[in-house]
Structure 1
């Protein structure tokens, strides 16, 4: 039996903000501007895939999309 602590696959806005060193308000602004990976939304919850956020940070946090492209 493994005693390793498993990390979650999905993380909250608070977790992402902490990873980036910004407030949650700034996180939502970055998302609206197309500067963050898109989250997964289900029910009343919004979560980000941990592996996608880490990969995005490793690539230097490039813009993800043009905000004009968003519906």
Structure 2
């Protein structure tokens, strides 16, 4: 059975280029919170808005997420 920590994007998040995109589940695991909270944070401006990549594919830009994390720590 796969766990949240089996997500390759989460395991390699620090090595991903700023141009990469990740799912809400990856961010939820990264922040140890729920997907609902990730969406709420995006709506509130704590996280960047996700991008629609076509069809049902919505992802967050890694570079923008890193900038948001830096602001949270400031």
Task: State the TM bucket, normalised to the shorter chain.
Answer: 0.5 to 0.7
The two structures, once aligned, show a CA RMSD in angstroms of 2.4
Query: Scaled by the length of structure 2, what TM-score is found?
Result: 0.62
SS in 2 for 1:38: coil
Whether 1:36 aligns to 2:36 is no
Seen in structure 2, the aligned counterparts of structure 1 residues 61 and 34 have a Cα distance that, compared at 3 Å, is farther
Structure-1 residue corresponding to 2:32: 21
What number of residue pairs does the alignment pair up?
A: 58
> 1:51 maps to what in 2?
63
Unaligned runs of 5+ in 1: 63-71
Higher helix share: 2
The structure whose Rg is larger is 1
TM-score of the two chains, using structure 1 as the length reference: 0.64
1:67 counterpart residue number:
none
Question: Any gaps of 5 or more consecutive residues in structure 2?
Answer: 1-11
